[in-house]
């Protein structure tokens, strides 16, 4: 018994010594402040794998806007401030444009908008039987799943997981199968569209415009491959922000009927009831614009944006950012900046307006990321989300669902976990405002 106790004490003492040495090493190297890492696993156990942005935001209160941690030997620098993020990833984008080494289902609205703009593809009838849509659905869903923090951690610790046969538990991690899915997402929509271009059966879209400008010329080398990846990036990124943002908007309207009513009154005073709002009305609908901006801030769809990596060692504010470090923009913390957004948990569009009801606060563009890793589909997403919000508000009242006794059901949705965060299904009712 005495020997067992002695052994346990020795193990604990060893772990404490190694931990203290690791902490001293990071200080001596001049890294930003952060929690003390454990041997081998670093700070992995301290991070909420399903919602890491909450852990990082908690650390901000202790360690500041720039936090260093280590996950299984990988240096990670978390950026909790919009200013620091702009200083590093915008102003020094050359050094922070590296990608991480990592490889949702499209709802009919966002799928139709994005596939129409990129490929002039119209979804007819049942979306479930639309080959192009379902190919994109499968590829985008796979990309989001494998980029989730828990999956990344698992394949970092156990890299052989990437080769588990698809028919075994965990087979979704199979890298060769994932590569096939992603290639189909790039190839099938492009091949279908190319045939329509050659047959003269396609209207104006991104692909047609690129074909007319560059195909058959020497202006762009490897034209076909570049076009496939550019189009794939556009619809994958745009879909994730478009569909998910509308779900967040719906929840906000259910929870805040007074906000919805004010927006509907503004639309009626500017547009009337004989037509739906269009983009020409946007400058005259400041409160609707404020709802759009507050929706983006209130619940950022991608709370940690797209991770960057440091190409070379760098210095910032007296701290060393090591070469190869993963740079994580904590968009969630930026959206909770109480100096800029008082009472940040409250959905309050008026924070974007002045005393006269005019737009005063800028769009929280940090929700789209920074530098060369900024969301490439942000312009399409901004416009498609705004017009959808405006027209939904004009045509519908979004209300709480009612139970069997006619009593309103208070929504309390669960939130998706992983790269993106938005409400899972919750009860509500879309009631037409027009006869």
Coil, helix or strand at residue 205:
coil
For residue 181, give the nearest of 134, 127, 131, 135 by alpha carbon: 135
**Residue 61 CA: distances (Å) to CA of 67, 268, 323:** 10, 45, 26
**Residue 169 CA: distances (Å) to CA of 91, 163, 182, 363, 429:** 45, 12, 21, 44, 38
DSSP assignment string, 90-129: ITTTTTS-BPPS---PPPHHHHHHHHHHHH-----S-GGG
Element (H, E) at 145: helix 131-146
| Exposure class string for 23-56: b at 16+ Cβ within 10 A, else e | eeebeeeebbebbebbeeebbbebbebebbbebb
Residue 113 in tokens: 């908008």
Q: What is the CA radius of gyration of the chain?
A: 24
**Residue 217 CA: distances (Å) to CA of 190, 198, 205, 206:** 19, 16, 19, 17
Q: What are phi and psi of 109, to 5 degrees?
A: -65, -55
Q: Is 69 annotated as a binding residue?
A: no
- C-alpha 199/C-alpha 201 separation (Å) is 5
Binding residues for heme: 375
Binding residues: 375
């Amino acid at each position: 018994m005495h020997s067992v106790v002695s052994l346990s004490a020795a193990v604990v003492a060893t772990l404490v010594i190694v931990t203290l040495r690791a902490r001293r090493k990071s200080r001596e190297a001049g890294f930003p402040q952060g929690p003390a890492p454990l041997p081998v696993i670093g700070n992995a156990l301290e991070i909420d794998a399903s919602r890491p942005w909450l852990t990082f935001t908690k650390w901000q209160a202790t360690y500041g806007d720039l936090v260093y941690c280590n996950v299984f030997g990988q240096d990670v620098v978390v950026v909790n401030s919009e200013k620091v993020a702009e200083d590093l990833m915008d102003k020094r984008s050359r050094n922070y444009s590296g990608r991480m080494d990592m490889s949702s289902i499209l709802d009919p609205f966002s799928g139709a908008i994005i596939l129409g703009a990129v490929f002039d593809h119209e979804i007819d009838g049942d979306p479930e039987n639309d080959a192009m849509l379902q190919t994109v659905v499968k590829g985008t869903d796979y990309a989001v799943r494998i980029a989730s923090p828990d999956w990344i951690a698992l394949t970092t610790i156990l890299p052989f997981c990437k080769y588990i046969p698809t028919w075994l538990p965990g087979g979704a991690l199979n890298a060769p199968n994932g590569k096939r899915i992603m290639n189909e997402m790039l190839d099938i929509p492009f091949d279908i569209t190319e045939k329509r271009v050659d047959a003269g059966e396609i209207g104006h879209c991104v692909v047609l415009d690129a074909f007319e400008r560059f195909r058959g010329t020497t202006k762009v080398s490897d034209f076909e491959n570049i076009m496939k990846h550019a189009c794939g990036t556009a619809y994958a990124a745009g879909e994730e922000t478009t569909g998910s943002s509308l779900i967040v908007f719906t929840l906000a309207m259910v929870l805040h009927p007074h906000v919805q009513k004010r927006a509907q009154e503004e639309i009626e005073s500017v547009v009337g009831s004989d037509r739906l709002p269009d983009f020409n009305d946007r400058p005259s609908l400041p409160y609707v614009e404020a709802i759009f901006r507050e929706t983006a801030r209130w619940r950022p769809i991608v709370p940690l944006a797209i991770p960057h990596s440091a190409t070379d060692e760098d210095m910032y504010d007296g701290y060393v950012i090591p070469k190869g470090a993963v740079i994580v923009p904590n968009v969630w913390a930026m959206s909770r900046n109480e100096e800029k957004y008082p009472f940040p948990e409250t959905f309050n569009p008026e924070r974007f307006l002045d005393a006269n009801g005019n737009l005063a606060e800028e769009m929280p563009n940090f929700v789209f990321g920074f530098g060369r890793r900024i969301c490439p589909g942000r312009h399409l997403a901004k416009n498609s989300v705004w017009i959808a919000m405006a027209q939904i508000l004009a045509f519908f009242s979004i209300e709480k669902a009612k139970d069997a006794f006619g009593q309103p059901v208070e929504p309390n949705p669960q939130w998706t976990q992983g790269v993106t965060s938005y409400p899972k299904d919750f009860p509500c009712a879309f009631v037409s405002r027009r006869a």
